Structure 1
Amino acid sequence: MTKPATPFTPTVDADGTPTVCRCCGRHAIGIGRGTKADPGFLCRKCITIVEDLSKMDRLDVYELAALDAGVDAVGAYLSEIGKTDLAECDELDARMIVKAAWLGCAEGLRRALNEAPF
């Protein structure tokens, strides 16, 4: 079994209802590209580019840089609030951790693309 191209799996709940987009993590609808175990549901925006999504097998160098920046952002946030055990986090902390990861990934991707040779 190959590793998913993105971390947004599974895209379906126990009842078979679409949950998150396999590509971007937004709210998915009932169209996807995947297997019987995980249909790889997509959101409305990603459905419009599904032909290109079928070519995605691995994260590229820019996406990996974005992922690393997201990890760094979460680490910085946890240091800022003085917590290392995620079980100690309340709902607001949990949301802020996700926000830090999301914004960190976005900023990391922008930085990586600014350094790209094109």
Structure 2
Amino acid sequence: MNPASSLRLFVFFIVTLGSAGFALAEQADRIAAGARLAHDVGKGNCLACHAMPTDANAVTSANIGPPLVTIGARFPDREQLRRQVSDAGLVNPDSVMPPFGKHRILTTEEIDLIIDYLYTL
């Protein structure tokens, strides 16, 4: 490999590595924002009904809804989880979960942030 090719390869590697680091930092920020919304009694307020046993900051004794663990296994399709959070009554007409999207309690972006967080539990 000639020096010019080596330099191009090195620059490509550094740029790619920097982009990946930025994407990871952005995802971490989204997860943190989702956690804040999920814990916020004025917004998501997930802790009012759900336990989150894998999150040490989510202290609650709630057991109205199922514990929010292994979300990826329970909802492998992100859109299915989005529908559940947006309006659980569409899936289960007897659900007591507020229709966060339908009633505009949460914006679509806020729901997506909470979903990013829930997939870490």
TM-score > 0.5, shorter chain as reference = no
Larger helix share, 1 or 2: 2
Q: Could you tell me the TM-score, scaled by structure 2's length? A: 0.26
**RCO higher in 1 or 2 (8 Å CA, sep ≥ 6)?**
2
The structure that has the greater radius of gyration is 2
